[in-house]
Amino acid sequence: MENLEALQDGDIANGVYRYAGRAGTADILKMGARGALFPAQLNGSAIDSKTAFISVTGRALRFPDYSATNWDAFEESLRDLSWLPGTGCLIVYGDPYYFAQAAPKDWATALTILKETAAYWQKKQQPFYVLLRRTLGSAPDVPLLR
């Protein structure tokens, strides 16, 4: 069980983590920005489908207008991010259980893409973190960060 300070210091590997600590989303995003990470927040209550997930994530990460709404284009955009300021990315995704319950197969695909993207950026030695908050059992295999 890693802690949030380890993430801020870059002492943990890129990845997707469940976050169960006391810090609020705004504080987490500020911490990331202080560490030169581009901070992005996903409101899970607005995400109940593949299309909504791609759209909300694209807006949060400022995807170019030409980005399509399919998984391949989504993954390509996540592996570029050249338009973002900072040296990496920190996504805080609250309430992902809405998506997981409404579209379990698409949720599984999204989670796989986020994990693969984190591994991709790890090889490039650029930080990429996704913190899942209030998962309500929707990501039991995702490591816990406190």
Span 119-140, pLDDT tens digits: 999 999 999 999 999 999 999 9
* Residue type (1 letter), 142: V
Q: How far apart are CA 111 and CA 125, in angstroms?
A: 21
- CATH number of the domain to which 69 belongs: 3.30.370.10
Q: Identify the pLDDT of residue 20.
A: 87
Q: How many structural domains comprise the chain?
A: 1
- Digit-coded pLDDT (tens) for 30-87: 988 888 899 999 999 999 999 999 999 999 999 988 777 899 999 999 999 999 998 8
* Residue type (1 letter), 25: T
Q: Please say whether the beta carbons of 127 and 87 come within 8 A.
A: yes
Q: In the predicted model, is pLDDT for residue 1 greater than 50? A: no
What phi, psi does 18 have (nearest 5°)? Answer: -80, 135
Q: How far is CA 110 from CA 6, 12, 33, 121, in A?
A: 25, 22, 24, 17
Q: Annotate 84-121 with three-state secondary structure.
A: CCCCEEEEEEECCHHHHHHCHHHHHHHHHHHHHHHHHH
DSSP label at residue 2 = B
- Digit-coded pLDDT (tens) for 61-71: 999 887 778 99
Q: How far apart are CA 13 and CA 63, in angstroms?
A: 24
Strand partners, 86: none
* Edge-to-edge strands, sheet with 37-43: 37-43, 88-94, 128-133, 15-19, 144-145
- The whole domain housing 92 covers 4-145
